Amino acid sequence: MTQPRSFLALGECMVEIAPAGDGLFRRGFAGDTFNTAWYARRLLGPDWTVAYGSCIGDDAISAEMSAFMAEQGIDTGALRVIPDRTVGLYMISVDNGERSFSYWRGQSAARRLAENAEWLAQLLAGRDVIHFSGITLAILPPDGRQVLCSALAQARAAGATVAFDTNLRPRLWDSPQAMRDGLQLGASVADVVLPSFDEETGLFGDATPDDTVARYRAAGAGLVAVKDGAGPLTLWSDTDGTIRRTPAPVARIVDTTAAGDSFAAALLAGLATGQTAETAADHAMALAGQVIQAPGALVPGLFETGEFR
Protein backbone atom coordinates (compact mmCIF):
# COMPACT_ATOMS: atom_id res chain seq x y z
CA MET A 1 0.00 0.00 0.00
CA THR A 2 1.36 3.42 -0.99
CA GLN A 3 2.17 5.73 1.90
CA PRO A 4 0.03 8.92 1.69
CA ARG A 5 1.94 12.08 0.89
CA SER A 6 1.41 15.25 2.87
CA PHE A 7 0.73 18.90 1.95
CA LEU A 8 0.80 21.33 4.88
CA ALA A 9 -0.19 25.00 4.78
CA LEU A 10 0.81 27.26 7.68
CA GLY A 11 -0.82 30.51 8.74
CA GLU A 12 -4.02 32.07 9.99
CA CYS A 13 -7.57 31.16 9.04
CA MET A 14 -10.04 33.87 10.04
CA VAL A 15 -13.75 34.41 10.40
CA GLU A 16 -14.95 36.26 7.30
CA ILE A 17 -17.96 38.58 7.50
CA ALA A 18 -19.06 39.41 3.95
CA PRO A 19 -21.98 41.52 2.65
CA ALA A 20 -25.02 39.44 1.70
CA GLY A 21 -27.34 42.28 0.62
CA ASP A 22 -29.97 44.41 2.35
CA GLY A 23 -27.58 45.29 5.16
CA LEU A 24 -27.07 41.64 6.06
CA PHE A 25 -23.76 39.80 6.30
CA ARG A 26 -22.72 36.19 5.73
CA ARG A 27 -20.20 34.46 7.95
CA GLY A 28 -17.53 32.18 6.54
CA PHE A 29 -13.95 31.11 7.14
CA ALA A 30 -11.00 32.11 4.94
CA GLY A 31 -7.39 33.25 4.93
CA ASP A 32 -4.62 33.23 2.35
CA THR A 33 -2.84 29.98 3.18
CA PHE A 34 -6.07 28.30 4.21
CA ASN A 35 -7.53 29.16 0.81
CA THR A 36 -4.50 27.51 -0.78
CA ALA A 37 -5.02 24.39 1.34
CA TRP A 38 -8.72 24.31 0.37
CA TYR A 39 -7.90 24.39 -3.35
CA ALA A 40 -5.00 21.96 -2.94
CA ARG A 41 -7.35 19.46 -1.31
CA ARG A 42 -9.50 19.51 -4.45
CA LEU A 43 -6.54 19.24 -6.79
CA LEU A 44 -4.55 16.51 -5.09
CA GLY A 45 -5.67 12.89 -5.18
CA PRO A 46 -6.60 10.54 -2.32
CA ASP A 47 -2.96 9.53 -1.93
CA TRP A 48 -2.36 12.99 -0.46
CA THR A 49 -3.36 14.39 2.92
CA VAL A 50 -3.82 18.15 3.12
CA ALA A 51 -3.42 19.68 6.58
CA TYR A 52 -3.66 23.17 7.99
CA GLY A 53 -1.12 24.17 10.63
CA SER A 54 -2.16 26.95 12.95
CA CYS A 55 -3.32 27.77 16.47
CA ILE A 56 -6.95 28.28 17.45
CA GLY A 57 -8.70 29.12 20.70
CA ASP A 58 -10.85 26.98 22.97
CA ASP A 59 -14.06 28.92 22.29
CA ALA A 60 -17.12 28.02 20.23
CA ILE A 61 -16.10 29.84 17.04
CA SER A 62 -12.69 28.14 17.06
CA ALA A 63 -14.43 24.77 17.34
CA GLU A 64 -16.72 25.69 14.44
CA MET A 65 -13.71 26.68 12.33
CA SER A 66 -12.03 23.34 13.03
CA ALA A 67 -15.24 21.49 12.16
CA PHE A 68 -15.52 23.43 8.90
CA MET A 69 -11.97 22.49 7.93
CA ALA A 70 -12.67 18.83 8.64
CA GLU A 71 -15.86 18.97 6.54
CA GLN A 72 -13.76 20.31 3.67
CA GLY A 73 -11.43 17.33 3.85
CA ILE A 74 -8.57 19.17 5.55
CA ASP A 75 -6.70 17.41 8.33
CA THR A 76 -7.13 19.36 11.58
CA GLY A 77 -4.56 17.37 13.51
CA ALA A 78 -2.12 20.20 12.78
CA LEU A 79 -4.18 22.70 14.80
CA ARG A 80 -2.98 23.56 18.30
CA VAL A 81 -5.58 24.75 20.80
CA ILE A 82 -4.53 27.61 23.08
CA PRO A 83 -6.80 28.28 26.09
CA ASP A 84 -8.35 31.73 26.50
CA ARG A 85 -7.62 32.69 22.89
CA THR A 86 -9.83 32.90 19.83
CA VAL A 87 -9.49 33.34 16.08
CA GLY A 88 -9.14 36.54 14.06
CA LEU A 89 -12.04 38.17 12.22
CA TYR A 90 -12.28 40.44 9.19
CA MET A 91 -15.23 42.23 7.61
CA ILE A 92 -15.54 43.10 3.93
CA SER A 93 -17.01 46.43 2.84
CA VAL A 94 -17.86 47.18 -0.80
CA ASP A 95 -18.10 50.69 -2.29
CA ASN A 96 -18.84 50.95 -6.02
CA GLY A 97 -17.42 47.48 -6.56
CA GLU A 98 -14.20 48.17 -4.63
CA ARG A 99 -13.57 46.00 -1.60
CA SER A 100 -11.96 47.15 1.65
CA PHE A 101 -11.30 45.23 4.83
CA SER A 102 -11.50 45.82 8.57
CA TYR A 103 -9.61 43.41 10.85
CA TRP A 104 -9.88 42.24 14.46
CA ARG A 105 -7.05 39.87 15.33
CA GLY A 106 -5.63 41.11 18.65
CA GLN A 107 -6.62 37.89 20.48
CA SER A 108 -5.88 35.58 17.56
CA ALA A 109 -4.26 32.35 18.70
CA ALA A 110 -2.49 32.08 15.34
CA ARG A 111 -0.08 34.78 16.46
CA ARG A 112 1.42 32.12 18.73
CA LEU A 113 2.12 29.66 15.91
CA ALA A 114 5.88 29.67 16.56
CA GLU A 115 5.73 29.91 20.33
CA ASN A 116 6.39 26.19 20.93
CA ALA A 117 9.44 25.15 18.91
CA GLU A 118 9.11 21.46 19.84
CA TRP A 119 5.50 21.31 18.64
CA LEU A 120 6.44 23.18 15.49
CA ALA A 121 9.26 20.75 14.66
CA GLN A 122 6.89 17.80 15.13
CA LEU A 123 4.29 19.53 12.97
CA LEU A 124 6.71 19.94 10.06
CA ALA A 125 8.34 16.53 10.29
CA GLY A 126 7.63 14.16 7.40
CA ARG A 127 5.79 16.67 5.20
CA ASP A 128 6.31 16.56 1.45
CA VAL A 129 5.15 20.12 0.66
CA ILE A 130 4.95 23.00 3.16
CA HIS A 131 3.38 26.31 2.17
CA PHE A 132 3.50 29.61 4.07
CA SER A 133 3.18 33.30 3.26
CA GLY A 134 4.21 36.82 4.10
CA ILE A 135 1.08 37.04 6.23
CA THR A 136 2.15 33.93 8.16
CA LEU A 137 5.35 35.80 9.06
CA ALA A 138 3.74 39.20 9.58
CA ILE A 139 1.39 38.05 12.36
CA LEU A 140 4.32 36.66 14.37
CA PRO A 141 6.67 38.63 16.64
CA PRO A 142 10.18 39.06 15.20
CA ASP A 143 11.64 36.22 17.27
CA GLY A 144 8.73 34.00 16.19
CA ARG A 145 9.61 34.61 12.55
CA GLN A 146 13.12 33.40 13.24
CA VAL A 147 11.85 30.29 15.03
CA LEU A 148 9.44 29.44 12.22
CA CYS A 149 12.01 29.95 9.46
CA SER A 150 14.60 27.92 11.34
CA ALA A 151 12.10 25.06 11.61
CA LEU A 152 11.23 25.39 7.91
CA ALA A 153 14.92 25.29 6.99
CA GLN A 154 15.29 22.05 8.93
CA ALA A 155 12.23 20.56 7.23
CA ARG A 156 13.62 21.60 3.84
CA ALA A 157 16.96 19.98 4.64
CA ALA A 158 15.06 16.80 5.54
CA GLY A 159 13.45 16.69 2.08
CA ALA A 160 10.32 18.85 2.20
CA THR A 161 9.58 21.26 -0.65
CA VAL A 162 8.94 24.65 0.96
CA ALA A 163 6.84 27.26 -0.87
CA PHE A 164 6.54 30.93 0.07
CA ASP A 165 3.89 33.33 -1.22
CA THR A 166 5.19 36.82 -0.41
CA ASN A 167 1.63 38.22 -0.08
CA LEU A 168 2.24 41.71 1.31
CA ARG A 169 0.01 43.29 3.97
CA PRO A 170 1.82 46.51 4.97
CA ARG A 171 -0.47 47.22 7.93
CA LEU A 172 0.74 44.02 9.62
CA TRP A 173 4.39 45.11 9.60
CA ASP A 174 6.10 47.69 11.79
CA SER A 175 7.78 49.39 8.83
CA PRO A 176 8.63 48.89 5.15
CA GLN A 177 12.13 47.80 6.17
CA ALA A 178 10.71 45.19 8.56
CA MET A 179 8.58 43.91 5.69
CA ARG A 180 11.57 43.75 3.33
CA ASP A 181 13.59 41.90 5.96
CA GLY A 182 10.71 39.52 6.61
CA LEU A 183 10.28 38.66 2.94
CA GLN A 184 13.99 38.06 2.52
CA LEU A 185 13.95 35.80 5.57
CA GLY A 186 11.00 33.81 4.25
CA ALA A 187 12.53 33.47 0.81
CA SER A 188 15.81 32.25 2.28
CA VAL A 189 14.17 29.00 3.43
CA ALA A 190 11.99 28.40 0.35
CA ASP A 191 12.39 26.27 -2.77
CA VAL A 192 9.46 28.00 -4.50
CA VAL A 193 8.72 31.75 -4.19
CA LEU A 194 5.46 33.26 -5.48
CA PRO A 195 5.60 37.08 -5.58
CA SER A 196 3.28 39.61 -7.26
CA PHE A 197 5.08 42.19 -9.35
CA ASP A 198 2.94 45.18 -8.33
CA GLU A 199 3.74 44.51 -4.67
CA GLU A 200 7.42 43.88 -5.29
CA THR A 201 7.95 47.02 -7.36
CA GLY A 202 6.23 49.07 -4.67
CA LEU A 203 8.35 47.64 -1.85
CA PHE A 204 11.70 46.99 -3.53
CA GLY A 205 11.53 49.31 -6.54
CA ASP A 206 11.83 46.49 -9.08
CA ALA A 207 11.78 47.83 -12.63
CA THR A 208 10.85 44.50 -14.24
CA PRO A 209 9.70 41.04 -13.14
CA ASP A 210 13.21 39.84 -13.97
CA ASP A 211 14.49 42.01 -11.12
CA THR A 212 12.08 40.21 -8.79
CA VAL A 213 13.25 36.83 -10.06
CA ALA A 214 16.89 37.81 -9.55
CA ARG A 215 16.34 38.74 -5.90
CA TYR A 216 14.61 35.51 -4.95
CA ARG A 217 16.93 33.41 -7.07
CA ALA A 218 19.81 34.94 -5.11
CA ALA A 219 18.01 34.04 -1.88
CA GLY A 220 18.18 30.36 -2.86
CA ALA A 221 14.88 29.57 -4.58
CA GLY A 222 14.85 26.97 -7.33
CA LEU A 223 11.61 28.26 -8.85
CA VAL A 224 10.13 31.76 -8.88
CA ALA A 225 6.75 32.61 -10.41
CA VAL A 226 6.16 36.37 -10.64
CA LYS A 227 2.45 37.13 -11.10
CA ASP A 228 1.43 40.36 -12.82
CA GLY A 229 -2.37 40.40 -12.91
CA ALA A 230 -3.56 40.14 -16.51
CA GLY A 231 0.01 40.62 -17.71
CA PRO A 232 2.47 37.84 -18.50
CA LEU A 233 3.58 35.46 -15.78
CA THR A 234 7.36 35.35 -15.47
CA LEU A 235 8.37 31.83 -14.50
CA TRP A 236 11.98 31.00 -13.73
CA SER A 237 13.36 27.64 -12.63
CA ASP A 238 16.87 26.34 -12.22
CA THR A 239 16.09 23.61 -14.75
CA ASP A 240 14.28 25.54 -17.51
CA GLY A 241 15.43 29.14 -17.15
CA THR A 242 12.90 31.92 -17.82
CA ILE A 243 9.51 31.28 -19.44
CA ARG A 244 6.76 33.87 -19.93
CA ARG A 245 3.15 32.79 -20.08
CA THR A 246 0.19 35.11 -20.69
CA PRO A 247 -3.07 34.25 -18.90
CA ALA A 248 -6.25 33.91 -20.95
CA PRO A 249 -8.39 37.07 -20.96
CA VAL A 250 -11.18 37.22 -18.38
CA ALA A 251 -14.41 38.76 -19.62
CA ARG A 252 -15.75 39.88 -16.25
CA ILE A 253 -13.87 40.09 -12.98
CA VAL A 254 -16.26 39.63 -10.06
CA ASP A 255 -13.94 39.20 -7.07
CA THR A 256 -10.15 38.91 -7.07
CA THR A 257 -10.06 37.36 -3.58
CA ALA A 258 -7.96 34.17 -3.57
CA ALA A 259 -6.62 34.65 -7.10
CA GLY A 260 -3.06 34.22 -5.85
CA ASP A 261 -4.06 31.59 -3.30
CA SER A 262 -5.70 29.36 -5.91
CA PHE A 263 -2.77 29.96 -8.28
CA ALA A 264 -0.39 28.73 -5.57
CA ALA A 265 -2.50 25.63 -4.95
CA ALA A 266 -2.63 24.61 -8.60
CA LEU A 267 1.05 25.33 -9.22
CA LEU A 268 2.22 23.41 -6.16
CA ALA A 269 -0.20 20.52 -6.76
CA GLY A 270 1.01 20.26 -10.35
CA LEU A 271 4.67 20.27 -9.38
CA ALA A 272 4.05 17.75 -6.61
CA THR A 273 2.36 15.33 -8.99
CA GLY A 274 5.03 15.44 -11.66
CA GLN A 275 3.93 18.21 -14.03
CA THR A 276 6.52 20.45 -15.61
CA ALA A 277 6.73 23.96 -14.21
CA GLU A 278 5.26 25.35 -17.43
CA THR A 279 2.26 22.99 -17.43
CA ALA A 280 1.63 23.55 -13.73
CA ALA A 281 1.75 27.32 -14.28
CA ASP A 282 -0.73 27.11 -17.15
CA HIS A 283 -3.16 25.17 -14.97
CA ALA A 284 -2.61 27.63 -12.12
CA MET A 285 -3.41 30.62 -14.32
CA ALA A 286 -6.51 28.86 -15.66
CA LEU A 287 -7.81 28.15 -12.15
CA ALA A 288 -7.13 31.68 -10.90
CA GLY A 289 -8.91 33.05 -13.99
CA GLN A 290 -12.02 31.09 -13.07
CA VAL A 291 -11.86 31.96 -9.36
CA ILE A 292 -11.93 35.71 -10.03
CA GLN A 293 -15.14 35.33 -12.03
CA ALA A 294 -17.06 34.17 -8.95
CA PRO A 295 -17.73 35.81 -5.58
CA GLY A 296 -15.82 34.78 -2.49
CA ALA A 297 -12.51 33.14 -1.79
CA LEU A 298 -13.69 29.52 -2.06
CA VAL A 299 -15.52 28.47 -5.24
CA PRO A 300 -16.64 24.83 -4.93
CA GLY A 301 -18.66 24.92 -8.14
CA LEU A 302 -15.48 24.93 -10.20
CA PHE A 303 -14.77 21.35 -9.23
CA GLU A 304 -18.20 19.86 -9.86
CA THR A 305 -17.48 19.37 -13.57
CA GLY A 306 -14.11 17.80 -12.91
CA GLU A 307 -12.31 20.40 -15.07
CA PHE A 308 -9.71 21.10 -12.42
CA ARG A 309 -9.32 17.65 -10.91
Q: Tell me the C-alpha distance between 233 and 141, whole Å.
A: 33
Q: Which residues contact 295 (CB under 8 A, 6 or more apart)?
A: 254, 255
Question: How are strands ordered across the β-sheet holding 14-21?
Answer: 24-30, 14-21, 89-95, 98-104
Beta pairing, strands 241-245 & 24-30: unpaired
Residue 47 annotated as catalytic: no
Catalytic residue among 75, 191, 261, 282: 261
Distances (CA, A) of 43 to 17, 263, 266, 292, 298: 27, 11, 7, 18, 13
Beta strands in the chain (DSSP E): 5-10, 14-21, 24-30, 48-56, 79-81, 89-95, 98-104, 129-133, 161-165, 192-194, 223-226, 233-237, 241-245
Active site residues: 261
